[in-house]
Amino acid sequence: MIKTVIFDLDGTLLNTLLDLKESTNYALRQFGYPERTLEEIRYFVGNGVRKLIERAVPAGVENIEECLAVFKEHYEKNMYNNTVCYNSIEMILKELQEQGVKIGVVSNKFDLAVKELCEKYFSELIDVAIGQGGEILPKPSPFGVFKAMKELGAEKDSTIYVGDSEVDVQTAQNAGIPCIGVTWGFRGRAYLEGADFIIDEPCDIIDIWKNFQ
């Protein structure tokens, strides 16, 4: 029986790609670096914003921390400009909640942004939201998942993880819990090898949940 579902955020619940691109390119412009395309950003994300900036700046530059600080400052003020919830996601979260399922979010985005985005777009639907920073190691470390499970009072045998990238598949495997890979996010089916389930529509999450009951 599945009593807890933990979601990735970017590319799974929210399409944040355009706002990430805009803030990345804003930071790059401040230092005279070439801008990046949306498709480049799509494959730069997934391992946290520091890694995003490392991948976006020209090879060999040494001011990554300065560029990252500019990115974060811009993103905190502009992360709602173009970000949207994927179709049917809110409905799926509501249905899970109505069935008594605890819902968590574990993301490699920095913690402040994770909490603010979850509050704005999902309000009372998310029980725990955890982002990167401080003691939280980035995925594919299972640390964030274990922290969420502890806060939710969840057990491994009643928890499942949902994400859109190879990092999410690895995270679930490292945590020892099943993984649902979603194809509507930033990576696509080819990057979800190893997931226990691969789905194309959010409603499939409910079908999988029911099969565990």
Name the residues annotated as catalytic. 8
Given phi > 0 = left and psi -120 to 50 = alpha, else beta, which region is 194?
Answer: left
How far apart CA 21 and CA 165 sit, in angstroms, is: 18
* Beta carbons of 33 and 18 less than 8 angstroms apart: no
How far apart CA 187 and CA 192 sit, in angstroms, is: 8
Which one, of 86, 90, 78, 104, lies nearest residue 175 by Cα?
Answer: 104
* Beta carbons of 88 and 206 less than 8 angstroms apart: no
SS (H, E, C) 40-84: HHHHHCCCCHHHHHHHHCCCCCCCHHHHHHHHHHHHHHHCCCCCE
Which one, of 32, 33, 56, 34, lies nearest residue 43 by Cα?
Answer: 56
Between strands 4-7 and 128-132, the pairing is unpaired
